[in-house]
A = this chain, B = another copy of it.
Amino acid sequence: MNTDGDPTGAQSTADVDGARFLRDFAALSLIGRSAGGGVDREAATVADHESRAWWSGWLEANGFDVRIDQIGNVFGLHCFVPGAPYVLLGSHLDSQPLAGRFDGAYGVLAAGHAARAVADRVAMDEIVPTVNVAVVDWFNEEGSRFSPSMMGSSVATGKLALADALTITDAAGITVAEALTPDATFESPLEVGNYAEIHIEQGRILEDSGATIGLVDGTWAASKYVVRVHGDQAHTGATIMADRHDALYGAALTVVAARELTNRVAAGKLHTAVSTMRVLPNSPVTIARFAEFNLDLRSADEAVLEEANRLLEEEFARIETTARVTIERTLTHEWGLRSYTPAGVALATSAAEAAGLPASRILTVAGHDSTNMKDVVPTVMLFIPSIEGISHNEKEDSTDADSVAGMTMLAEVASRLVQGELWHGERYVLPTTVV
C-alpha cells in the first residue's frame, strides 16, 4: 500500500512493523492450532514445546541472546549498558485447552517486537538507555495441566519454591520436571529493574468504552477455595433416599449456591465460578462418597467479597444438613484489591497520549504474570480490547488494528523504561537464574 503523506512512496516504519507483527503472530498461531481456529498448547505439551522452540528461533533471528532458567522460562536479552539491570517485557505462550490465540502469546510476541523496536531506536541514537531490555515467555501461566497457575513467574519471584514446582504432577502423574526437561542456560543471574506486560483484556470493558488501550491500575480482590464434600457410598437404586449421604448432590448444591450468590449482591459486583469436578468412585451404580472442586469468588469491592464469603459459609452449613454430607473447604488463595504502581500508570498514560492511542484505566479480574512481578519491581500492565469479551475459548479475538496499536504502545512504554523513567535503583535477582 502507498501512504499518501509519504512522497517517496515508501511504507512508514510503523506500517512495516505492524505488518511484520501480524505475519509473525499468524505463524505463531499455527502452533497447536485447534480445529475451531484457536490453539491448544497446555504447558509442556508437544505444542507448548514447539511454541517455545519457535520463540527461541525468533529471538535468535532478531538479535537477542536466548537464555532458559530452571523453571523453563525462555528469555531473550539485549544488553546496552553492561552491569545495569534489565527492563523485562513478557507474557506466556502456553494456553488453556481449546483456547484463543491471543491469551498470553500476543503479549510475548508484542514484547519481542517492542524490544526490537527499542533496540533499533537505541542503535539509531533516538534514545539513550540507562538499563537493558529483555523479553520472556513465562512457563505455565495457565495452570490447567499443572496447578498452580502463573508457575514460571511465581518461581521467578520467590513465591513458589523451584523444587516444589518441579515435582508437581499432572492428572497422568507426570511431573513438571519430566514434562519440561529444563536445560537452564544462564551464565550469570538476571537482574530486573522494571517489568511490563500487555495482554488481551478478556472482558468487554474496553470494547464498550471505545478505548484501544487499558491502563491497568489494580486487580480485583479474590478468594479461591478447594472444596471437598465427604459422603458415603451407597447403591444408586436400592438405597432409600433418606439413607443417602450423596457427595455429588452436596457438590451440586454448592455449585448452584456459588452461582446464585451473584444474584444476592449488587448486580455485576461479584463473579463466582466452579469449573472442575472430581467424583469418587464415579461409578454409574454407586452414590459418590467424595467430590472435590474449585470455587472462586472475585470482586472489585472488598466489602462485597467479604459478604460473599459470609453468605457462602451459611450455604455450606445449609448444604451439609440438606445432603447429609460434611464439607471441607481450604482457602488456597486470597488477596485484596491490589494496585499497580501509580507511577507506572502515569508513565503508560503519558505514553498512550504520545502514541495518540485512546486509553482508559481498568482493573484486571484475571491474574497475570505481571501480578507476580509487580510485587518485586515497579510494573506496567496494559490491555488491548477483546471482541465481545470472549476468553478461554477458541473464538477469542481482537482486531488487527488493536493488535498493532498494543504492540506500538508497548514499544513506547519500553522506550521510556529503558531510559530509566520508572527505575529508582531496583535490582531484583530472579532466583531461577542463579545456579
Contacts and interface: CB of A to CB of B under 8 A. Distances in A.
Contacts of A202: 235, 238-239
Interface string A88-101: 00000000111100
A49 to B, nearest CB: 20
A259 B237 CA distance: 12
A392 to B, nearest CB: 4
A6 interface: no
Contacts of A389: 238-240, 243
Determine how many copies of this chain the complex contains: 2
A366 B237 contact: yes
Contacts of A241: 259, 262, 268, 271-272
A271 B237 contact: yes
Nearest to A386: B238
A74 to B, nearest CB: 22
B271 A240 contact: yes
B96 A285 contact: yes
Contact of A233 (B99, B234, B237, B388): B99
A94 to B, nearest CB: 12
A212 interface: no
Contacts of A360: none
Given A246-B273, A275-B287, 18 more contacts: A96-B233, A96-B283, A144-B281, A144-B283, A203-B239, A234-B391, A237-B271, A237-B366, A237-B367, A238-B271, A240-B268, A241-B259, A241-B272, A251-B255, A253-B256, A256-B256, A276-B279, A276-B284
A105 to B, nearest CB: 16
A283 B279 contact: no
17 contacts: A97-B283, A99-B286, A144-B284, A204-B243, A234-B391, A234-B392, A234-B393, A235-B391, A235-B392, A238-B271, A238-B391, A239-B392, A246-B259, A249-B256, A252-B252, A276-B279, A277-B291
A220 B237 contact: yes
B236 A281 contact: no
A393 B232 CA distance: 7
Interface of A: 96-99, 142-144, 147, 149, 201-204, 220, 222, 232-241, 243, 246, 248-249, 251-256, 259, 262, 268, 271-277, 279-289, 291, 294, 296, 298, 364-367, 388-394
Contacts of A235: 202, 365-366, 391-392
A276 B364 CA distance: 36
Contacts of A273: 236-237, 246, 287
